[in-house]
Chains A and B, each alone.
Chain A
Amino acid sequence: MGRVLSSDLLKIRRKGLWLLAVSGPFGIVALQALNFGIRYDYLTKKYADDLWGGLIENIALLVPVTVLAGVTLISSLIANVEHQTNSWKQLLALPVPRTAVFAAKFLLSVILLGVSCALLAWGTAALGVALGFGWDFPAVKILKISFLPFLASLPFLALLLWMSLTVRNQAAPVAIGLLAAVCSLFAGQLPEFVPLAWPLLAAGPPSGLRLAVGGGVLLGALILLVGAVHFERRDVD
């Protein structure tokens, strides 16, 4: 699978995927820079006893919707590299297990989105320091809000990637993904066992976090497995 992944990394050159992976975290940090920049006095007073906590809370609010939108666009763009010129028949006639092809695409998405998460963590810390909140930033907390919502979104990544890879027309997976992203803004009202509530839960207090992350990883793995089995068996046109 390493060989397929290395081939995939080459194929996404000049496709704007890395740019997309950078723009997500950049967007969140820029928005909060604007927010804190404009309302500096008001917000620093409001969060006076925990400046870093206030910043992290505001960042965390934007993470679920951004992660879900990112998951949607990245999986669709990755699939499109093969759909665009009908490369499936060439790729899948190579001596490589189809499950490896499927897994490599998933891993590529995880790498791209993982880079986004890391950049978000770095950007959050940098923003806080720039805003004068001091150097003693709560690293664990920052890493948690940066990475855990992504782990909680893995079921969506597995599902949307599976859909994107199997249907040529990307309208359906993109529409579903973006709808989920928008709905996740209001996910606070959903019961905790609904997967759509997980990305937001994962950015919140520890009570719901375990279910959100654990459920996300488990359900994600399950959907990935089912998707891989289907991808292995389907006819390629």
Chain B
Amino acid sequence: MSEWIIQTKDLCKSYRGRLAVDHVNLNIARGEIYGFLGPNGAGKTTTIRMLLGLIKPTRGSVEIFGKSLKREKLHILRKIGSLVEYPSYYGHLTAVENLEAIRRILDVPKTRIAQVLETVGLTKDAKRPVKGFSLGMKQRLGIAAALLGEPEMLILDEPTNGLDPSGILEIRELIKAMPKQHGITVLVSSHLLSEVEQMASTVGIIRQGRMVFQDTIESLRRQSEGSISVAVSEPEEALLALLRMGFRGKLENGRIALERTDDQSVARIVKALVEQNHAVYRVEEKRKSLEELFLQIVGEGGGA
């Protein structure tokens, strides 16, 4: 088995008898950017709070760096930097003072403050009170604070939420650089696939507290690859014939929609249809966008 930095086993959290996080098994490998996806209220923040020891799991366990979070919390937290939901900051203090307040607890050299401010591009605004910062700047200060202790792992909960497109881009570039330049593993959550797909190597999708997908982004892309749509003269009869041959499909808007099929199968399908005197008007490949697939995964199973 490869080296998991974070591994949860059947992690659960219930609020008033309802499972906000329902048997989640998270596996995050070293050096990757893990996109933790799910619609609002899916349980991302609740899961992340449990990873940071802010709240206690109702059931299940968390292992980080191969150690039990329950037993070695402080040791683990020493190597994690985090940013949970909207940014935390002391508005009456300047950016430097905010970082100094955290530095005193972490006990790292003073020079780290200038370094992390440089990393997030806040050097110019270092001496300004944070209450005058834009949301994007506060968010970057939050990331600076998370980086202060030279962590091996960064946990960022919706770091781009509420930012304008340029702010989103800045944060995304910052996150992308983490594994490459600093060897840091990143867990980043979002309710939008589009924000994560360009940086994440692995994605976990959570819906109503349950993990419904966890694999590499390539695997997700593969799943999104197209279905074959065939337009024929007598669609109902043609579909029946194909089903009898063992293909799987259904009628959609008067066309036959077949699940992902390789080239040989398509050739056999066309040949069969022609031999049975169906007029084949069109054979098209329909590609689902990744976003459509995400929405489908997230919406699947319905129910409130």
Any B CB within 8 A of the CB of A84 = yes
Q: Is the CB of B88 within 8 A of A94?
A: no
Q: Is the CB of A89 within 8 A of B93?
A: no
Q: Is the CB of B90 within 8 A of A89?
A: no
Q: Is the CB of A15 within 8 A of B105?
A: no
Any A CB within 8 A of the CB of B110 = no
B54, B82, B92: the one within 8 Å of A14 (CB): B92
Count B interface residues, CB 8 Å. 34
In the bound complex, what is the Cα–Cα distance between A96 and B74 (angstroms)? 6
B82-97 toward A: CB 8 Å interface, digit per residue (1/0)? 1111111111110001
Q: Is the CB of A89 within 8 A of B85?
A: yes
In the bound complex, what is the Cα–Cα distance between A91 and B80 (angstroms)? 13
Any B CB within 8 A of the CB of A141 = no
Minimum distance in angstroms from B227 CB to a CB of chain A: 44
Q: Is the CB of B54 within 8 A of A3?
A: no
Q: Is the CB of A11 within 8 A of B77?
A: no
Chain A's closest residue to B142 (CB) is A90
On chain B, the residues within 8 Å of A236 by CB distance are 49, 54-55
Q: Is the CB of A85 within 8 A of B74?
A: no
Chain A's closest residue to B106 (CB) is A94
On chain A, the residues within 8 Å of B104 by CB distance are 3-4, 6-7, 10
If A7-B105, A13-B97 touch, whether A93 touches B86 (CB-CB below 8 Å) is no
Any A CB within 8 A of the CB of B53 = yes
Any B CB within 8 A of the CB of A86 = yes
Question: What is the total of A-B residue contacts with beta carbons within 8 Å?
Answer: 86
On chain B, the residues within 8 Å of A84 by CB distance are 91
In the bound complex, what is the Cα–Cα distance between A10 and B93 (angstroms)? 9
B50-83 toward A: CB 8 Å interface, digit per residue (1/0)? 0011111000000000000000001101101011
Count A interface residues, CB 8 Å. 28
Minimum distance in angstroms from B1 CB to a CB of chain A: 28
Say whether chain A's binding surface is mostly helix, strand, loop, or mixed.
loop
Chain A's closest residue to B91 (CB) is A85
Q: Is the CB of A7 within 8 A of B101?
A: yes
In the bound complex, what is the Cα–Cα distance between A95 and B102 (angstroms)? 11
Any B CB within 8 A of the CB of A92 = yes
In the bound complex, what is the Cα–Cα distance between A15 and B101 (angstroms)? 15
Q: Is the CB of B145 within 8 A of A89?
A: no
Minimum distance in angstroms from A79 CB to a CB of chain B: 13
On chain B, the residues within 8 Å of A3 by CB distance are 104-105, 107
Q: Which of B236-269 contact A (CB under 8 A)?
A: none
On chain A, the residues within 8 Å of B53 by CB distance are 92-93
Any A CB within 8 A of the CB of B100 = yes
Minimum distance in angstroms from A148 CB to a CB of chain B: 33
Any B CB within 8 A of the CB of A138 = no
Q: Is the CB of A96 within 8 A of B100?
A: no
Any B CB within 8 A of the CB of A87 = yes
Q: Is the CB of B105 within 8 A of A4?
A: yes
On chain A, the residues within 8 Å of B92 by CB distance are 13-15
Q: Which of A208-237 contact B (CB under 8 A)?
A: 233, 235-237
Q: Is the CB of B55 within 8 A of A7?
A: no
Q: Is the CB of B54 within 8 A of A92?
A: yes
Q: Is the CB of A89 within 8 A of B89?
A: no
On chain B, the residues within 8 Å of A233 by CB distance are 56
If A11-B93, A13-B97, A236-B49 touch, whether A95 touches B106 (CB-CB below 8 Å) is yes
Minimum distance in angstroms from A64 CB to a CB of chain B: 32
Q: Which of A73-112 contact B (CB under 8 A)?
A: 81, 84-97
In the bound complex, what is the Cα–Cα distance between A95 and B79 (angstroms)? 9
Q: Is the CB of B77 within 8 A of A93?
A: yes
On chain A, the residues within 8 Å of B97 by CB distance are 10, 13
Minimum distance in angstroms from A18 CB to a CB of chain B: 14
Q: Is the CB of B105 within 8 A of A87?
A: no
In the bound complex, what is the Cα–Cα distance between A237 and B89 (angstroms)? 16
Q: Would you mind naming 8 contact pairs between A and B with Cβ atoms under 8 Å apart? A: A6-B104, A7-B101, A10-B101, A13-B92, A14-B92, A89-B49, A89-B52, A94-B105
7 other A-B residue contacts (CB within 8 Å) besides A93-B84, A94-B106: A10-B104, A13-B97, A14-B92, A14-B93, A81-B90, A89-B54, A91-B105
The 8 closest A-B pairs by CB, nearest first: A90-B88, A95-B78, A235-B55, A95-B77, A7-B104, A236-B54, A87-B88, A93-B52
